Structure 1
């Protein structure tokens, strides 16, 4: 009986530890640029400044994000942001 109790406690502790570790591993920062569909001119300038500070690798991720966004939510603003990101990529290479 004691052996069964010990085995169940060890199993519960192991499962709790595994769950806590799995939750901690996936806590990586997520960069979101441009939260809404329409940005004010001030917010748009802030977005352009944030884009200017990105590395080439991050620019490519933002480019893919805006390509998808242009497919799902086409707007002139999203097209302009995509063009700006593509120009920054060309300038960085």
Structure 2
């Protein structure tokens, strides 16, 4: 069976290791990083931060639950990389 996605858009890759993610951001084909902070659905819960890096072939994603680690990772992104911070849009009632 053929998948519903065209071959030009391969599936995103989830990265679990922060050091591996930093290596990916330093590659030549890494063009853009998007940072999305998602508030916890439970009161008093931790904010989840998702880092997405667009490379020539794949979109790499890293999820971080610790806000301090997320800030350190954001500061360690290469200066030549375009960084876009996305805010989550609240749902309409």
Task: Give the alignment's TM-score, normalised by structure 2.
Answer: 0.35
Higher relative contact order (CA 8 A, sep 6+): 2
Greater fraction of residues in strand: 2
- Structure with greater Cα Rg: 1
